[in-house]
Structure 1
Amino acid sequence: MRFLMACAVLLCLTGCSSKPGIALNNQQTVIMESPVLTAGIIPGTPSLSVDQGRQKATLSLSNNQPKAIQIHYVFYWYDKQGLDLLPFAAPRTITVPANSDVDIYSLNGNLDAYSVRVHLYL
């Protein structure tokens, strides 16, 4: 009985030893509502770079339809632990011309900026 209790305590302590932070799926960098894909917009993967000492995230959007599509988007920035960085960016809007590509971007001056996620919606 003591053995089982000792095992239970060890299991509980093992579960508490994970790194602090929020689990952030780094492979889900673009979140889009289904009407965006239905409208013919195909996003790329956000790329990060440095622009004048600030983090810059760039995302390419492709429109494969014969008409222009208006898209709303928001960039969300995170630190290494997966926590949101403030202030949140305001939603923006862009019109992607027919059968063409455009790049959208966001700049963040926070030195803790580590990763980004983009939300696309109509």
Structure 2
Amino acid sequence: VIVANQNGIYQVSHMSRTPAPIPFSNLFSSKVTNVRAMAVSASHQHIALLGDTGQLYLGSSDFATKYTEVQTNLTDPNTEITWCGIEAVVCSYGSTLMIVGRSGETVVYSYDGPLQLISEVDGV
């Protein structure tokens, strides 16, 4: 289980009694004080974290490998994020959809109305 609070990210398991936090400064290159959204890939091997400053962190779920960090400018608490397979994360706020690849490439789409993300086995 992975949880976050203002002190950082915690990996909680039945084996650990008092998990130590992973400070945000170990993950993000910019100042982040909390995580607004978190998504784990269907394979449980990858994690995405959206910081309060709009920084999007993509890395391995054990936090050993950082794939990329992208400034999304998405700071609203209603932003949704989800993995699309294992190669990209989809972010949605209002009528804007952003796709961020594991190597940092970004594509943004604007729609006429609000969006809601629904994860499926073969996509979003």
TM-score normalised to structure 1 length: 0.29
TM-score normalised to structure 2 length: 0.29
Higher relative contact order (CA 8 A, sep 6+): 1
